[in-house]
Amino acid sequence: MKKNMSLLLAIMLVTVLVLSACGKKEEPAKDGAAAPKASAPASTVRLGIFKNVTHAPGYVALEQGLFQKYWGENVKIEVTAFDNGSDFSTALATDQIDLGYTGPGPATNQFLKSKNFRIVSGSNNGGAVLVAAKDSGITSPKDLLGKTVAIPTKGSTNEISLRLLLKENNLNVTTDKTGVQIIARAPADTLIAMRQKEIEATLVPEPWGTQMEQEGIGKIIVDWNKIPPNNGDYPLTLLAASDKFLKEHRDMVKQAIKANADAVDFIKKNPDKSYELINNRLKALSGKGMEINLIKAAISRLNLTTDVNKAAIEEMAKVSIDAGYIKDIKKEELDLSKFLDLSLLEEVKAGK
């Protein structure tokens, strides 16, 4: 009888333990949130990038197979080349691409409309220069009074820098000779216009300024490290990802941040090898390459970094508000806290 009772008690104890284990809730993460489940990798990643040397880390990451290394050989990478940030930001907001490289100006403007993508890492700070045409008589920004200055596209980061530069020199943007007129032209068209003496100055990303100077048709009068904001140390190229891709494949976004960081490190340690890699990708994206000496000169005017200067982005956004590119938002109401999601970047820097 005692044996039967002991056996029955043992069975009941095992049953209780099993039921307790089955009903146990998932342990929360240390911050109190439920631990996220690992998502299945995407079979295809749609990546956007500009046809511009200032996007050098993205070029090297593609040429060195760094994205493929982190995402795996079974992931197909579809690369879409863009001419400007407005087109890129629209594509990201409308689910035409998943992530990629862009400038802060157009990205900020689009985010405040759609609020469905985030900046996840830096890539390059600075790299734009102010060039005056030969025989224009322009030797400093103050000489731009009554002149017409070209920028790549309306609302671009380059236009924001130009507006800040003009403000520093007490010059206004106008539509007549009482101030400075701004026109939008693609850098390649600006180069031709400079050759034909149709424009007097331009604020453009490298290597266009160096090319104009080397051809003898223009002269750099404000170098990259004097261009506002923050004397050239402002984000010019950033890595952005859509909210959808972040939600469904956050781990892959983290891997993209690692690939970008590896590319930045590679260029710094292997500049000579990088020039050819950059040229190869430039050929693939635009159909034509560039002289290595131009690429070298352009890279020397870039501050390649994964850091993101939030204050500089906010300052540029306020210029966009004043210019009318960002509507229905007052400068004192500007909130870009959700525009930047640097949590994954911080994890990568911490070696996680």
In words, the CATH class of domain 44-126+234-349 is: alpha beta
pLDDT at 40: 78
Considering the domain 128-232 in this protein, what is its CATH number? 3.40.190.10
Helix (H) or strand (E) holding 79: strand 76-82
pLDDT at 39: 64
- Which residues touch 262 (CB under 8 Å, ≥6 apart)? 61, 64, 66
Structural domain spans, the chain: 44-126+234-349, 128-232
* Calpha distance 60→311 (Å, rounded): 28
pLDDT at 183: 96
Plot region of 317 (φ>0 → left; ψ -120 to 50 → alpha; else → beta): alpha
pLDDT at 41: 84
* Calpha distance 331→322 (Å, rounded): 8
**Lookup: tokens for 293:** 């000496």
pTM, full prediction: 0.85
pLDDT at 34: 37
pLDDT per position in the chain (352 positions), as tens? 444 444 444 444 444 334 444 444 434 433 333 344 556 789 999 999 999 899 999 999 999 999 999 999 999 999 999 988 999 999 999 999 999 999 999 999 999 999 999 999 999 999 999 999 999 999 999 999 999 999 999 999 999 999 999 999 999 999 999 999 999 999 989 999 999 988 999 999 998 999 999 999 999 999 999 999 999 999 999 999 999 999 999 999 999 999 999 999 999 999 999 999 999 999 999 898 899 999 999 999 999 999 999 999 999 999 999 999 999 899 999 999 999 999 999 999 999 8
**Lateral strand order in the sheet of 201-205:** 181-184, 148-151, 201-205, 128-133, 218-222
- Please measure the distance between the N-terminal and C-terminal CA atoms of the chain and give it in whole angstroms: 59
CA 152 to the chain's CA centroid: 16
Task: Let me know if the fold of 44-126+234-349 is the same as that of 128-232.
Answer: yes
